[in-house]
Amino acid sequence: MHLLVSRDHSLAGLPQVETRRLTVMTVWMPGNAADSEWADFCNLFGAEFGVRVDASGPDFSGIYRPPPSGCPQIRLR
């Protein structure tokens, strides 16, 4: 799983983030169509780790673009 945050975010620059650190935040995962595998995953993820998941926004299904070069990637563990 990838985590994308702004450069001035408290998690920016970390090589990895423990899932428990997300419990005080809202994770935005736009476009998760109801009853889809991703929506189920997000609901289970949120329930298991106490993370609020906001699925509002555009539907990006079928579109994958890798992060821009030079954009740091943070691994969740």
Cα 70 to Cα 57: distance, rounded to the nearest angstrom = 26
Would you say residue 10 has pLDDT above 80?
yes
pLDDT digits (tens, 9 = 90+) for 57-69: 776 666 666 667 7
Residue 18 tokens read as 């423990």
pLDDT digits (tens, 9 = 90+) for 14-71: 989 998 888 888 888 777 777 788 888 888 888 998 888 888 877 666 666 666 776 6
Give me the sign of the Cα torsion angle 7, 52, 25, 23: negative
Query: Facing residues of 74 across strands?
Result: 3
Phi, psi of 2, rounded to the nearest 5 degrees: -110, 145
Alpha-carbon dihedral 32, 35, 36, 39, rounded to 10 degrees? 40
Cα 8 to Cα 56: distance, rounded to the nearest angstrom = 24
Domain boundaries, the chain: 2-76
